[in-house]
Structure 1
């Protein structure tokens, strides 16, 4: 690499930040190994959430120190110095001969000296393997003195071992690079065939539909010819019938006139002379059987195959054959709730079972509600081979969802979709058996997405399947009044209890007690929430104006008290880590208070009342990824959603028993609410 960089083919783009398009200034390396200016990254992180690499779109998780915590790309800094030297600059005020610059090893002279952050005058010369940190000579005497806890080794030795490891990785990269390059060539080959394939398919489709159009035109001509022929034949027959009837009419009319003249104008002699003849003629005509009825009936065109029938079958009139194997396509129907946008997910797969792209017009979806009325559906491609089918049902009950790919029904179509109202699921009933609940108060979601409930009546935690509501397991908990519950990043349960034998207890996933935390600052803990880094916030209720929220280290030691002297009756607590906002319900004040983790009060909202946006002894509280705040009322059982600033958005409903306690958000976007008097947990859809 050094020789390439030292050659006349030196590439300026290698030293250019992809954000500002200027030479790097204090380049920082992301985990995906792309580098950017420190200031550019800081601006980028302020604009984009969640954070992604500007080049490869790989998700980025910054260290606690933010952009400043990222490693500096000293290699790029060295290249910048080298480039400056070639252009006549003096980055280190060190004279370098032209021959050195031209030599392959000249690059090695342009390494900026790295000094210790603590001992500024000393260069970094050692690597403490125990601490995984580069240190200077002074550090090896003070903070990293050789011992069982520290093992400083010369940087060159460690770097050589690291280079050997990287060299091995380089050898592994070559075959993988060839594989990827071959894949690019194969894609290029397919791209080159794309337009000819399109043209061929277009010609075939046009020819096919021209044939169909010709067949329809031919059939139309045949039908029109039949109509003309039938019209002529019927006209001839009707004309013959008309002539026969007119002949009879003429005879009878003539006899009528003769008879009338004889009666009115004939002498007696004349009447006697012709009377018998006239009588015989008229009687003959009157008794003669004449067919006065015509056999003709109006003819009409008959749709043997109706337009509606053709419309149903028109999708079968040709199609685009792709790599999608319809027999392998799958549809996942998600739980549906009346009045909300609901989705089903279609996966289009090849015959090899791989995700396979097809054009959007090849995917069709339709839905009918229980009465047979059409429900509007939309199909949207989410990514290669993954499709979102969305609809908004207006009634509950069984709906039918039909899904076709390339005019063929996907296996299982039409699918039954059971549309429910809120709550979509009720878990448990009063009792002490498996699946039964007694005074559920705290609720949380474990690492598997299932619902864990603290039962104050049965003094246990019971875990339920979030989809079916079936009890999965339970375990007893200590303390007189178990109350709050949360789950840490390792899947362990944290359960509070107040009253006699109060404390904060940590249980393994299976229910075995790990430890009990009871620092001196704690008294009658209620709600609890645990942060991703293991810190905990516990609602502390010693009484009077001492009520507060305790921010604790993972070992239970106190970091600070929050809200002391401001809270009257705090109950449950939640932390929106994306905004670093602590939310705590105050049942006595009928409010929700928001603090930052430094203890500063940010805002509060709510007042006592039964109207939308008002609170009646609020208990449970949580927030969703968008920052919306969900609050349950112990006083009247209402569950409401508020915007991140506390303005009212919607009411979800009123829980069974009218006494809502803890709330939790499931991974698929449902709100689980503990119903104290209803002895159950209800799941609500809200977005």
Structure 2
């Protein structure tokens, strides 16, 4: 029974096998697109002409792969040894016999009762039919048939019995006996060997299927048993087909949901961008105005200092002119009369010193440009800090974490696992520690126990060579990222082999190496690479393949980190503060102190899963340590202070604080609650 098929529905075993289109396709070779000649069936049940299979095998070195299903099954046996698809002839007869079926039932019945004998040429009316010989016989031919010893076990039915059989199967083959003759002996195929699963004529039985190892039955008996088995197999396979149809429906539903989600997100993005356009234009004008104001203010300071210097130069020039004119044109009288005044004035002028501004007026602090927005954002972040109670502002002593030194990895040297001034440090998801070994011009990878694993650029590719590596980071897929004194960011696979390198410029921008100082690199929760350039004063965002996503102007980014809110934490030793900003560059808050009165001298930074911030503090000739702040920038605790020259900090998957300290890596862990503190 045919079923309605919608466009895009998967193929179904419920296809209408009685349709003319189906039968025409069934009788046409997919290769030559003509009616089959000697149709041979592959293990995948697709059929081709024997000659077509043979030609393909010659072209492909003796092998043949089905073009229809691409099942991967390669047929190497000769096409002669493949099974003959006997259904092709049946379908062909059904296709050509459809016109005859339009006759009336009375005409059909008359044709059955008026069959002539096909065993002789006398034209006598047939009275019976031999099912094994597939011949209609008259009375005389029946007697002759029964007198032949080898034919006595054949099944002979009367015309009335044959008529009933014909009514059950209108397509019962009563004329095309050629297709049911043994190809070897040209005898009717009437038997089936159940052991060999082969059709056979009477001669085949005598020659090949005799003895206890064979069991031959009539094709009717064998077909009846095999029909039940085939029907059972089809029913069972239909259950598999139902599973695949269910899976197809799930995938189609998923696809539709994906399209819906994509369309909804596109609409939301368009609406969000549209709603912010006016605000962005206002901010643009305000920011540009602020830049102009800062430039004018700094330029006024520069002009004031230039005026003072020019005035001093005029005083010096006056003294030089008089003194040199006395020396060049005066005599002893002039020299002696003016000597005291000249030397006194020159002595006073020698005490003058040019004074430059105490601040770098060439740098424009982003907080001066976005000051109003930063204040608003800080108020939002604090969540009404002025109304909060003292207990909400201060971190309770009961919840303040206490840290202890868990282990120290490495020592000074150039061997595996030894370091010469550690710089950037990072820990991968699988627990590997990656260390920028600056003094040894290499990056080392260590396992969880601190044992050496490999060097980056382990395959020693020229493009992967590192010189004075500054910082490292880890991608989510286990690859490593490193920056050094060159203008390139390099990526390596988990075995340390060089993968690719890219620069941080756009396609329309050419950057010379002298214009670049890649100081830091990190990877955010979206697996994007962020690179800080101290000379260009920018942070560049890249996809994991190096493609530039955007460039964000930031003053002096020496160290970088991101938290789970997509906030960017920037350490700027030049400004002696930590800035926390949005991914669009909007300043949220700044950290410039530690404890109650300490002035922060920041270096490396990182964030944990709760968005707490860890900062390396490094005061030349003074205190050195690592400090912890909460997500609002409030001081929480000191992680440790027993350092020689700390540089960078990161968090392991276990929550341990990992610090690069001169020629070693120090790992700190939280003390369990209730344990005595130092």
**Shorter-chain TM band:** 0.3 to 0.5
Higher fraction of helix = 2
Greater C-alpha Rg: 2
Higher fraction of strand = 1
Structure-2-length-normalised TM-score: 0.37
Structure-1-length-normalised TM-score: 0.37
